[in-house]
A and B are shown apart, each in its own frame.
Chain A
Amino acid sequence: MASHITSMNAIRFATFLFVISCFFVGSFYIFFRIFSYLLSIEIIGSALMDKIVEMTFFVFFIMLLFSNVITSFSTFYNTKELNFLFSLPVRPTSIYLAKLIENCIYASWATVAIALPLIVAYGVTTSARFLYYPISIISILIYLIIPATLASMLIFTIFRLFPKLKSRDVIILSLTIIIGLTFLYIKINNPGLLKIFETENERELLRFAANLTTVGGIYIPSTWLSNKFQYNHNCILCSKNPLRSILVTPW
């Protein structure tokens, strides 16, 4: 019986490994092809690639805010588990941090699954130095914590201000606030981005992307992250001081 269970677990693990490997290899191949194509475009290719990466991480950031808001209801408001944890001699801040990490994992695993092959493909296409890879992965982890924290702050604030609201209403209100703020930010900071809906063919799209000054902005974590990739893939200084590269330049 025990050996039967062990062999079942081994089969399950092997299947999981196979599927995840196929996914990573497939995603890497697609990103590699896209980046190679973009780099092959003369003059604007490299800049265009960086802008698309920045835009991708901007979209990921908004999606991460959404998913963190939704998952935070099952992690931060699971009454049974919280009753159990708060009855123990544990500091509330420790409970909050543990739940924040749990929420971040639940909400962000899919983003990580997409971001990893993207980072590798970007590194391979731009012939990045070895240190680019670990620094990028650590940067991604920091990038994931930011929307998780913002989402939890948003939910807590709404519950504090409107304690009688139902969970469904809190989710709707949170998502409305996120969509509203995103739209407002783009409208004020990058009005050109909204013209994407007016592009009709590939050529116009390329011209549109090349003419964009920036997709995010200095206050947006996705911009910090994509700046970090662009800075680190050919950075010589980061190989001398990787810690400085993660923490300081050029977040």
Chain B
Amino acid sequence: MKRLVIKDLKKSFNNVWAVKDFNLELTSGEIFVLLGPNGAGKTTTLKLITGLLHPTSGEIKIEGIDVQKDPIKAKSLIGYIPDEPFIYNKLTGREFINFVAGIYNMKRENYGRRMEELFKKLEIGDWIDEFSETYSHGMKQKVIMCQLFLHNPDLVLIDEPLVGLDPKSSKTIREIFFELKEDGKTLFICTHTLSFAKEIASRIGIISTGELKFVGNLEELSKISGAEDIEEIYLKLSEGLGNHRLG
């Protein structure tokens, strides 16, 4: 089943292409990792999928729903974590989660137990009942991660999921991502952490100057680049071997 379809997506800012001719199809149970240098268009692509930005042209469909035509319905199918997590400073982590649950019209008995399990998994302690203004980046990331799974989204979009997390939490996040994959969810992740991409990705995309230059699994990308190691593959492909495209 096609969960995400992106066709001829273009976005320009002040006559400069931030995203250009972006085509991609993701199916259920797939983890797609988008790699690229700073300013390549990764975050813009994510914002276009979540409906935060309007494309200059092209279309994005989530489970057949056009993000531009029916944004409310499309947004109810996605969970999004930006690179800089946002929590209201004067709310505790738990209050913030309850606030988001309220937006999704969820009752506490439907998510309370799942949240407690996630709190345990991510080692969220009593600090969940303290004001979030006292949280570190990693603590905020954990709370955001919890609220992401409240409404059980089919498509999960994450920008830099490991920033600020300790090694143990990073491992737990990886495990959670694999569980989601097993459940048939689709994950679209932007990251600079190549080892993480290598470990979890079903397919990897490499974006440069707004264009999706290469898409494929690790083996396919290795063949094109002639390199074995993920770092070498990335460096060779992002330096530009042409507009070859796989998959």
Q: Which residues of A contact B (CB under 8 A)?
A: 80-81, 83-84, 86-91
A83 to B47, CA, bound (A): 9
A83 to B81, CA, bound (A): 10
Residues of B within 8 A of A87 (CB): 50-52, 75, 78, 80, 82
Between A and B, 16 residue pairs with Cβ closer than 8 Å are A81-B88, A83-B47, A83-B86, A86-B50, A86-B52, A87-B50, A87-B51, A87-B52, A87-B78, A88-B100, A88-B103, A88-B104, A89-B75, A90-B72, A90-B103, A91-B72
- Tell me whether B76 and A89 are in contact (CB under 8 A): yes
Minimum Cβ distance to chain A for residue B54 (Å): 11
A90 to B104, CA, bound (A): 9
Q: Give the contacting residue for B51; candidates A80, A84, A86, A91; CB below 8 A.
A: A86
1/0 per residue, CB under 8 A from A, across B70-109: the answer is 0011011010101010101000000000001001100000
Minimum Cβ distance to chain B for residue A46 (Å): 47
1/0 per residue, CB under 8 A from A, across B154-190: the answer is 0000000000000000000000000000000000000
The number of chain B residues with a CB under 8 A from chain A is: 17
Minimum Cβ distance to chain B for residue A60 (Å): 28
A80 to B159, CA, bound (A): 14
Residues of A within 8 A of B75 (CB): 87-89
Q: Give the contacting residue for B103; candidates A80, A81, A83, A89; CB below 8 A.
A: A89
Residues of A within 8 A of B72 (CB): 89-91
- Tell me whether B86 and A80 are in contact (CB under 8 A): yes
Minimum Cβ distance to chain A for residue B73 (Å): 7
8 closest cross-chain pairs (CB), A and B: A89-B76, A89-B75, A84-B86, A80-B86, A87-B80, A89-B72, A87-B50, A88-B103
A91 to B100, CA, bound (A): 15
Minimum Cβ distance to chain A for residue B110 (Å): 17
Residues of A within 8 A of B82 (CB): 80, 83-84, 87
